[in-house]
Structure 1
Amino acid sequence: MPFAVYILGLSIFAQGTSEMMLSGLLTELSTDLGVTIPQAGLLISAFALGMLIGAPILAVTTLRLPRRNALLAFLAVFVAAHIVGALTSDYWVLFATRAVGAFVYAGFWSVAATTAIGLVPANARGKAMSIVAGGLTIATVIGLPAGTVIGQHLGWRAAFWTVAIMSALAMIGVLAKIPAGRAEIQPDLRKELRSMVNPRLWLSYSTTALATSALMVTFAYLGALLSQTTGLTDGWIPIVLVVYGIGSFLGIVIGGRTADAHPIRTLYVGITGLIITSILLALTAEHPAPVVALTFLLGAFGFGTNPTLNSRVFNLAPNGPTLAPAFNVSSFNVGITLGPWLGGLAIGAGLGYASVAWIGATLGTTALAAITWDQLLNPHTPSPNKQPELIH
């Protein structure tokens, strides 16, 4: 595996830490900025919104740029946004920096995916994407608790400075290891757009959004479920979240090894496992031992499908290696937004925290239906054998 792919994964880790850490800093942000905790929570929504719209827009606008230049530009804006965020005392300025940072982070994601795929043979796409996406998993395991600890002891601004420094270091890695030249075959926007007219591609996007929301509806309220329903003390909750992170990491590693040879089987196994885990979690939510074990499985099955969901769009849209993965990034963020919203509705209606796991099982079942529909459209899916343009 080219070292450049690992650089891309580490870059995602640096930026993904910013995405993850805010959930642990809401109290500090609320106190320092003089806003309510729900208002501070809107900073998370600002990030999700920026991610949602950033990927396709920046994928198109940077289509003809050398990919290294685009990646460096995205990182530079991301660093600047976090420096401004760390210096401001105005809530709305911070809100804007979160949206801008997420906007370019989404652009980095889409171009990084295309770059990683272009650096490896067609039969290693899933493994490459597991390394790139693994950066976000490590951000969950390490970045989230580390950012929270830094914020609690040194202030939330120190956490923002830390992200800015890590992202600046990522720029050095990109500059040193990502190939500098243009794509061997120049991107063609018309071909990219034509490649999007494919029902199976949009079914894949639907699967991505549904599978992601099936995971996120439970994860978003996992801490509250552990505290309010399972009855764990506050000291145990970070430990259980680490267990979730370890499961996520193992899931994405295993999923990366099976994504290329058995993509559909990987999706069926991963999403079915997520459904069963969600049902068992709903049924045993008041019992600590099974909940801890099921939290591990939630991360493992939830992230195990990630490499396939990322790499499959390249096979479904071989003439759209930039735009197709950009919309996939947006699909992930649709799921990240949809799941917690549905869970919030259920909790607000008085159905209890265990209800989010039932919603996760339902969303997972819908994702399975989308995969089945795809297979009915084309039951003989060929193995990936076509690679998008190589870069130098």
Structure 2
Amino acid sequence: MPIALLALAIGAFGIGTTEFVIMGVLPEVAGDLGVSIPTAGHLISGYALGVVIGAPLLTAAAVRLSRKTMLLGMMAVFTVGNLLSALASGYGFLLVARVLTALPHGAFFGVGAVVAAGMVEPGRRARAISMMFLGLTLANVIGVPLSTLLGQQLGWRAAFWVVTAIGVAAMAAIVALVPNQPRQHQVGLRGELSAFRRPQVWLALGIAMLGFGGVFAAYSYIAPMMTQVAGFDAGSVTLLLALFGLGATVGNVLGGRFADRALMPSLYVSLGGLAVVLALFVFTAHDKLLAPITIFLIGAVAFVAAPTVQMRIMDKAVEAPTLAAAANHSAFNIANAGGAFLGGVVIDAGFGYTSPNWVGAALAVIGLALALFSGLLDRREKQLRRNALSVTPNPATPYPATTTP
């Protein structure tokens, strides 16, 4: 794999760390800025909103730039946002800084996926994308726990200084390692928007939103599920979340390999497996041995789909993939918010802390149904093309000569 993928992975590592580290230092932020923990929680939803808005808008605004310049610009905004977060004098300032930091999130991953796929031969594109996503999954295993620990020991601002430094390192790596891709392969904004006229692009975004909505319906409530149901102490939750991240890392690497060999079957297996594992989690969440194993498996089967869905969207928007690839990360964050909301609804309705797992399984099944329908459309399109070719006269075959009476 090209060394340039390391630069993209460093950027992804920084983005993944800054997105989730706020959850670990939320009590410190609330206490220092004089707000309640629920109010401080808006820093999480504000970030998600920034990703949803920023992914299409920033990509559209910068689409005429070279892709290397786009990557540098997105990482510069990200770094400035984290710097402002570290210097924030009050809650309102920090909220604005968090939204600013989130704006380039989806655009970076969208452009990065196109750049990564463009650096390798066609049969290795999904693996290249998974190498970039490796930074995101490793952030949950290494970046978030270490930054959280640092923030708890030295103050929450220390966590944001660390992520600011990662952003600077990512910019330096992009300058040094990422090649300039020819501009002739890029299209304007109108061309990028034309990809959204294709039903298959919307189907792929729907698959991402529903599949990962199922993940976040369960993941958002792992802490109370493990402490109130499984009987773990609060200090064990960080290790359990890191176990999810480890599973996601393994699944992501496998997903890139599987997608290069058989993209749609990989997607079917991932979504089907996710539905099964989430349904099992309703029962295994009561056991201290089976619960951690299930958490690892949820991360693994879910993130097999991460490079697979990204590759699917880029394939279906082949002439103009950048904006569609960025929109995938808007869908991912809608899944984050929507899954957490639906999981909270069933808990509030009195169905217990394991009930979000049923919600997650149901969302995964609907995502699988969309994937099967999308695959059916593929087969129908191929059959129509074969039929059209079979009735088209072969110009190499001469017509019978006509004779005059």
TM over 0.5: yes
Structure 2 CA distance for aligned equivalents of residues 104 and 194 of structure 1: 22
Give the distance between the partners of 2:368 and 2:180, measured in 1 at CA: 41
1:68 aligns with 2:76: no
Q: CA deviation at 1:192?
A: 2.2
Distance (whole Å) between structure 1 residues aligned to residue 154 and residue 89 of structure 2: 16
- Secondary structure of the corresponding residue to residue 217 of structure 1: helix
**C-alpha distance in structure 1 between counterparts of 2:212 and 2:351, whole Å:** 22
Following superposition, the deviation at residue 89 of structure 1 comes to 2.3
What SS class does the counterpart of residue 353 from structure 2 fall into?
coil
Structure 2 regions of 5+ residues with no counterpart?
A: 383-405
Which consecutive residues of structure 1, in runs of 5 or more, have no partner in the other structure? 383-392
Cα deviation per residue 1:90-135 (whole Å; 9 max; x = unaligned)? Answer: 1011000000100022221221112112222222111011111111
Q: Take 2:208 and 2:128, find their aligned partners in 1: how far apart are those partners?
A: 18
Specify the code of the residue in structure 2 equivalent to 1:115.
V
> Distance between the aligned counterparts of 1:55 and 1:237, measured in 2?
31
**Amino acid corresponding to residue 362 of structure 1 in structure 2:** A
In the alignment, what sits opposite 1:201?
201
Match of 2:224 in 1: 224
Q: What SS is found at the alignment partner of 2:113?
A: helix
Amino acid paired to 2:30: S
Q: Say if 1:196 and 1:320, in contact at 8 Å, map to a contact too.
A: no
Deviation for aligned residue 1:188: 2.9
1:35 alignment partner, SS class: coil
Structure 2 length-normalised TM: 0.91
Greater C-alpha radius of gyration = 2
- TM-score between the two structures when normalised by the length of structure 1: 0.94
Q: How does 1:2-151 map to 2 (within 5 A)?
A: 2-151=2-151
Q: Which runs of 4+ in 1 moved over 6 A?
A: none
The reply on whether 1:178 has 2:178 as its aligned counterpart is yes
Deviating more after overlay: 174-183 vs 92-101: 174-183
Which residue does the alignment assign to 1:262?
262
| Residue in structure 2 matched with residue 365 of structure 1 by the alignment | 365
Distance 1:271 1:32, change over 3 A: same
CA–CA distance in 2 between the matches of 1:298 and 1:54?
Answer: 28
* Residues 259 and 88 of structure 1, relative CA distance in 2, 3 Å threshold: same
> What residue number does 2:152 align with?
152
Aligned-pair CA distance for 1:254: 0.7
SS in 1 for 2:352: coil
Q: Distance in 2 between matches of 1:85 and 1:238?
A: 23
Give the fraction of aligned pairs with identical amino acids, expressed as a percent.
38
CA-atom RMSD, angstroms? 1.4
Aligned partner of 1:238 in structure 2 is 238
Contact 2:249 2:300 in 1 (8 A): yes
1:238, CA displacement in angstroms?
2.1
The range that moved more, 320-329 or 184-193, is 184-193
Give the CA deviation at 1:181.
5.5
| Deviation by residue 1:200-228 (Cα, 9 ceiling, x = unmatched) | 11111100100111111111111111011
CA distance in 2, matches of 1:114, 1:59: 12
SS in 1 for 2:53: helix
How far off is 1:242 after superposition?
Answer: 2.2
Q: Distance in 1 between matches of 2:311 and 2:3?
A: 19
